[in-house]
Structure 1
Amino acid sequence: MRKSTCLLFLFLLSSFVALAQDDAAELAKKLANPIASLISVPFQNNTDYGIGAFNGTRNTLNIQPVVPISISENLNMITRVVLPVITQYNITGEGQKQSGLGDAVMSAFFSPKNSEKITWGVGPALLLPVGTNDFLTAKKFGMGPTAVALKQSNGWTVGGLINQIWSVAGSAERPNVSQMFVQPFIVYNWKSGAGLGGNLEWTQNWKSNQTTVWLNPTVSGVTSLGSQKVQFAVGPRLNLAAPDGGKADWGWRAVVVFLFSQ
């Protein structure tokens, strides 16, 4: 595992000079913006170790396609789906394993095309109960508002994303959902397309009064695989807070983002 991480890190360093600087810098800038006018398909893999009383392990592959749609001369709608594919061991009990899809979150951000100082977007977020295992789904359909705002200047991108979802339908045998997700982020991109940054992922379950916080620093780079533009990112995951008995000792994140022109 550590050898694979080192190899990926070395590949990142070697990829920083693979593209023309202007092209790479522009792509990196757009990728740092969650609501940029850019079609992308990120595959974000999170692996976490030492979870809970049974020293469990969880691997979550988030498939996160982002598609901007032009609504009018001055307005875009940026659609974003987060679909988790989860495999976990020794989480629900010693020797127990679960795998399958988790519940998906679909968001739509309505954003002005020509923002001068602050780029922003607001819209709805939907919780879709598509989980394929009882331990990986809330069995609730939910909805609520979402918003994002950021500023980009001199290679820096600083901003944050938030959503709040309440359940409105679903299994009466499952508890209702009232959950907030907050994600502040900061990235610095060089002209080569290389980047260094991180985000904080704070999930607050209001019903059970449980808080989960992850800090995710990453190093990233933009390159080409043939004619396909790709971004790679890798970094550690630090579990700063978790419900009782559910905190992970450590983890790591690796991301591959495929980029497509409109």
Structure 2
Amino acid sequence: MICSKKRILAAATAVLPLLITPAIGADADLAKKLSNPVASLISVPFQWNYDHGFGSSDGDKVTLNIQPVIPISLNADWNLISRTIVPVVWQNDIAGNSGTQFGLSDVTQSLFFSPKQPTANGIIWGLGPALLFPTGTENLLSTQKWGAGPTGVVLRQSGPWTYGALANHIWSYAGPDGAKDVNSTFLQPFLSYTTPDAWTFTLNSESTYDWTANDWSVPINAMVAKLVTIDKQPVSLQLGARYYAASSANGPDGFGARAAITFLFPK
């Protein structure tokens, strides 16, 4: 029995390097496309985040963001890029001794109308609406409000570098009177560097300003990702850490962590 297990382990060890192949050459360009939020590339990221320091009890939150990105060709000159964020959340004591909640949080849908070609100066951009849906399965997982507003992204890719910013602003327009209104701005400046062998190093901030509470939340993220091919499927593997340079009154604060796996479906 022990010999049989050893043979199985040896076989798996021999086969795994054949299934997982480092990306080189043209696949490095694919890794660079991931740094462009409006690239014509179908991708399905599963992004895990851990944050701490919520409320008076220093609560914890773990979020799995499922973030499919689907480009739609409108004509010879324009794409419509659909970016959806579906958060699945586990949290504990985020509002004092509020106990544990687990379930779906509110879904954000962004649509970017983006030219297929950069401008003469190499600028890539997209504009469109951002929509907030109160899909949270519990009150502490949801704003309970329907929201909408503008979103936009502008960036430039020069050699191995990608730099730019994504932003949106969402106002609530419907929902229970007793729920807090949504009036928030999201700002995401980003800088990334992709190597010829498809490593990508990224520094960004995912800042939110709550205009109702006059509160900033400013997490700074440092991440490293590697594009590999698993049995012919391109996959990006990412690890990172974050630090809250500014925190809202109810947190989170201090350090957090991120890990992600993204499945790519190039045309």
TM-score, normalising length: structure 1: 0.90
Q: Who is 1:39 aligned against?
A: 42
Retained in 2: the 8 A contact 1:231–1:258?
yes
Bigger radius of gyration: 2
Distance 1:20 1:253, change over 3 A: closer
Q: Who is 1:76 aligned against?
A: 79
RMSD between aligned alpha carbons?
Answer: 1.6
Identity %: 44
Correspondence 1:135-146 to 2 at 5 A: 135-146=140-151
Residue 23 of structure 1 is aligned with which of 23, 26, 49?
A: 26
Runs of at least 5 residues in structure 1 that lack an aligned partner in the other structure: 1-13
Residue 242 of structure 1 is aligned with which of 247, 255, 264?
A: 247
1:224 alignment partner AA? T
2:28 alignment partner AA? A
Q: Who is 2:204 aligned against?
A: 199
1:55 and 1:20 map into 2 onto residues whose CA distance is: 41
Q: CA deviation at 1:20?
A: 4.6
Q: Who is 1:255 aligned against?
A: 260
Deviations 1:39-79 (Å, cap 9, x if unpaired)?
Answer: 00001110123444323211011110000000011000000
Q: SS at 2:25's partner residue?
A: helix
Residue 230 of structure 1 is aligned with which of 228, 235, 260?
A: 235
Deviations 1:177-204 (Å, cap 9, x if unpaired)?
Answer: 1111000000000010001112101101
Alignment length (residue pairs): 247
1:20 and 1:89 map into 2 onto residues whose CA distance is: 39
Correspondence 1:1-262 to 2 at 5 A: 18-94=21-97, 96-116=99-119, 117-262=122-267
More deviation, 29-38/87-96 = 87-96
Q: CA deviation at 1:248?
A: 2.5
TM-score, normalising length: structure 2: 0.89
